[in-house]
Amino acid sequence: MQQESAAWRAVAWRVVPAALAALLAGMGAASAGAQGARGGAGDTTVVAPGRARARAMGVAPGVFAPGRWNAITDVAGVRVGHATVIEGDSVRTGVTAVLPHAGDLFRDRVPAAVVVGNGFGKLLGSTQVGELGELETPVLLTCTLCVWRAADALVAWQLARPGMERVRSINPVVAETNDGTLNAAIRSRPVHEAHVRAALDGAREGPVPLGSVGAGTGTVAFGWKGGIGSSSRHLPAALGAWTVGVLVQSNFGGVLRIGGAAVGEALGRHPFVRALADTAPARRAPERTTDTAARDATADGSIVIVVATDAPLSDRNLRRLAARALLGLGRTGSYASNGSGDYVIAFSTAASVRRSADAVRLATAELPNGEELSALFAAAADATEEAIYDSLLAATTVTSRGGTVEAIPLDRVRAALRGGPR
């Protein structure tokens, strides 16, 4: 294993102190060098050495350019923090926090909406978001059985902030995917208050670490190691110069397509490969492998998609924006299987649509239905698609007592991309 640099530790890994050594020792084939891969213009988000982003592979969905970081943090004010929790040979999980702005979110609320693609999962706080159309806490992502511990920690963190002394009700928003294969100790609910606070207090603007970090530490997608992905789109001045940013926690399946190329079929890894091999011998047969995900590949799992924009949208149009993220999900080969939990949370940071908790009347100014809204819809679909690719391409191989899940092989992806659509 290469020597990890101080820069990589500071930028790529937001970890509770005792877990750092375990992190470096327990990630199987993950290397720990100093440099992060760049995926082209406007792409400086950190990935592990030897991994890449979609743009470095020649995949850039849509016609709009990304922002500076090609991440959700290109929406001004949005911050992201990770706590990566690796302990012994069993715990491979974490927390990822998304903060819409740096102010008092409980007092200065942002309009928000939730869209459910397939509801086989848990999104705590979603009913109030749907009813009121606003967020009053950061959004946390974590593991399935850690939702309630994360929510309790989020409430404690929020109530301890200045000005919250008389608050008697709060709606924490916590989403999950099930990382129980690699996170073999999931029943112990290994995310604790210190981890949540580390993610919240460590949230920053700028580059977003991607791959097997935070809530993506133990996830699996399309039979390979999944994780955290992020991307953004910046609209030209003629379309309002708005920005849309997306962050995903990928832990789902289907028949992977990247940029239209049938990568999952070309690599012989998808939920139906064994059944098809029995009836269509000409198709690629499944490989002999020790990879746990390859042996047990299904389309079940979940994805959480967080969409942020600085465009002044009401919760009604944020719901429409969130629905377009599902179109980007579909492009990657997902069909929202029976056992998949597919959720989108969208919010606007625009000052003109903020909702003060103390206001007697609200006077908001939102974007009308029109061409700019259509462009935002396209941006959301494109950024979601790319964020999912990045969650796979940036992820590193992870090993635990639950087995090994390999990172998708970049050289074979490149070969499949050269083959084009099938």
What DSSP string describes 13-33? --B-GGGHHHHHHSSTT----
For residue 39, give both structure tokens.
Answer: 């995926």
In a domain, 294, yes or no: yes
In order of 27, 112, 260, 303, 380, the CA distances from 320 in angstroms are 39, 11, 25, 18, 10
Q: How many domains does the chain have?
A: 1
pLDDT in tens, the chain (422 residues): 333 333 333 333 344 433 333 333 333 323 222 223 333 444 567 899 999 999 999 999 999 999 999 999 999 999 999 999 999 999 999 999 999 999 999 999 999 999 999 999 999 999 999 999 999 999 999 999 999 999 999 999 999 999 999 999 999 999 999 999 999 999 999 999 999 999 999 999 999 999 999 999 999 999 999 999 999 999 999 999 999 999 999 999 999 999 999 999 999 888 887 777 766 555 555 555 667 777 666 768 899 999 999 999 999 999 999 999 999 999 999 999 998 999 999 999 999 999 888 877 888 888 989 899 999 999 999 999 999 999 999 999 999 999 999 999 999 999 999 986 65
Is 250 part of any domain? yes
- Asked if residue 373 belongs to a domain, the reply is yes
Give residue 392's domain range. Answer: 6-419
Active site residues: 302, 340, 342
* Cα of 68 vs its chain's centroid, Å: 18
pLDDT for 268: 87
In a domain, 127, yes or no: yes
Residue 199 in any domain: the answer is yes
For residue 289, the model assigns a pLDDT of 66
Q: Is residue 387 part of a domain?
A: yes
Half-sphere exposure of 35 (CA within 13 A, CB side): 6
Beta bridge partners of 351: none
Greatest CA separation found in the chain? 69
* pLDDT at res. 279: 62
**187 falls within a domain:** yes
> Rounded to an integer, what distance in angstroms lies between the CA atom of residue 3 and that of residue 10?
14
**C-alpha closest to that of 380 among 337, 335, 330:** 330
Here the tokens at position 248 are 């995903």
The pLDDT value given to residue 77: 97
For the chain, helix (H) and strand (E) counts, in that order, are 11, 16
Which CATH number does the domain housing residue 91 bear? 3.60.70.12
Question: Does residue 1 lie in a domain region?
Answer: no
Residues 6+ apart with CB under 8 A from 119: 341, 343
